[in-house]
Amino acid sequence: ELTTAQLAPDVRIPLIGLGTWPLTGEDAAATVSQAINNGYRHIDTAENYANEAAVGEGIRRSGIDRGDLFLTTKFNTQWHSRTGVREAFRKSVHRLGTEYLDLLLVHWPNPAQGRFVEACEGLQDLVDDGSIRAWGVSNFKPAHLQAVQEACLPVPLNQVQVDPEHGQPAQLAYHREHGIVTAAYSPLGRNGSFLEQAAVRGPARELGMTPAQIVLRWHVQHGRVAVPKSANSQRQRENLDVFSFALTRQQMAAIDALETGAPPRLDSDTYFH
């Protein structure tokens, strides 16, 4: 069974990664180190989370070989130019204490500024010179993705907020049509209400798994990457253990049906999360 998604001919991303927002300082370092020791091989951070140095410390503390880890970060809108992106890269790798990134994302399109296509061009330069293995975007709507693709830059991945109640069907359909890998942030939702729904509770009982595992399984069985955050060691292990069972078509469809049609909450947190 596939536990990774392909981003480029020689680059695969593990389907489950550790989200690190809003952890900072020692909390972030300890959580990242613990997650790697629990088997995580994909860590997701961002300039905006103000925890890159701590995440880097956690990676070193774990003792893992850098080459065995898939590391993603994202840069703020102030770097939206071809040279700015290179500067953002330099600062991130310096804070993280690494030499390269597996994946670097435009964190937010900031269409009012209107320079996100240049940012993507800058990212492609970094792939071309080997600074990063792959690039992608986050929080891009179909119109923003289209603008990038019209500049002849196929977008490998878009990280957006997806959970069973906020599936963003039109957004995900666009990703599917254009071969864009979807990565889900806040994959368990922000209030956890659907973890109580029969469509989740039923399979959890039948399969002997937790509701969170059912929801994460739903994501990966749809071929999505998911980056749940947990600072709790047992929940970290639980969230990684979603490849030993499968949901039936009916069980998948019942979770799909939890879709409310409402957009995910766009507050100042989620904007840059």
Buried b / exposed e over 250-268, threshold 16 CB at 10 Å, is ebbebbeebeeeeebeeee
- Number of amino acids touching ligand A2P (CB under 6 A): 15
Measured from the CB atom, the residue of 153 and 231 that comes closer to ligand A2P is 231
Is it true that the peptide bond before 169 is cis, omega within 30 degrees of 0? no
In one-letter notation, the amino acid at residue 175 is: H
49 is catalytic: yes
Helix (H), strand (E), coil (C) string for 230-255: CCCHHHHHHHHCCCCCCCCHHHHHHH
Measured from the CB atom, the residue of 76 and 210 that comes closer to ligand A2P is 210
- Annotate each residue in 172-211 with x if it binds ligand A2P (CB under 6 A) or - if it does not, as one string: --------------x-x-x-------------------x-
**Least distance CB 261 / ligand A2P (angstroms):** 20
Sole binder of ligand A2P in the list 119, 126, 160, 212 (CB under 6 A): 212
* Residues 151 and 121 sit within 8 Å (Cβ to Cβ): yes
Q: Is 228 a binder of ligand A2P (CB under 6 A)?
A: yes
Residue 104 host element (H or E): strand 101-106
**Interacting residues of 45 by C-beta distance below 8 A, sequence separation 6+:** 20, 51, 52, 55, 71, 72, 73, 74, 96
Q: Is 229 a binder of ligand A2P (CB under 6 A)?
A: yes
**Least distance CB 184 / ligand A2P (angstroms):** 9
Q: Parallel, antiparallel, or unpaired for β 70-75 and 42-44?
A: parallel
The three-class DSSP label of residue 248 is coil
**Least distance CB 234 / ligand A2P (angstroms):** 8
First to last CA, the chain: 30
φ, ψ of residue 226 in degrees (nearest 5)? -135, 140
* Residues 166 and 189 sit within 8 Å (Cβ to Cβ): yes
**Range in contact with ligand A2P (rule: CB under 6 A) among 9-17, 122-130, 165-173, 227-235:** 227-235
Cα angle 194, 31, 95 (rounded to 5 degrees) comes to 115
Sole binder of ligand A2P in the list 4, 231, 256, 272 (CB under 6 A): 231
- Annotate each residue in 252-271 with x if it binds ligand A2P (CB under 6 A) or - if it does not, as one string: --------------------
Q: Is 139 a binder of ligand A2P (CB under 6 A)?
A: no
The structure tokens listed for 36 are 């790697």
Measured from the CB atom, the residue of 61 and 190 that comes closer to ligand A2P is 190
107 is in an annotated binding site: yes
Measured from the CB atom, the residue of 35 and 85 that comes closer to ligand A2P is 35
Q: Is 239 a binder of ligand A2P (CB under 6 A)?
A: yes
Sole binder of ligand A2P in the list 14, 17, 19, 122 (CB under 6 A): 19
Distance CA 225, CA 103 (A): 13
Binding residues: 107
Catalytic annotation, residues: 49
Binding residues for substrate: 107
Residues that bind ligand A2P (CB under 6 A): 19, 21, 186, 188, 190, 210, 212, 228-232, 235, 238-239
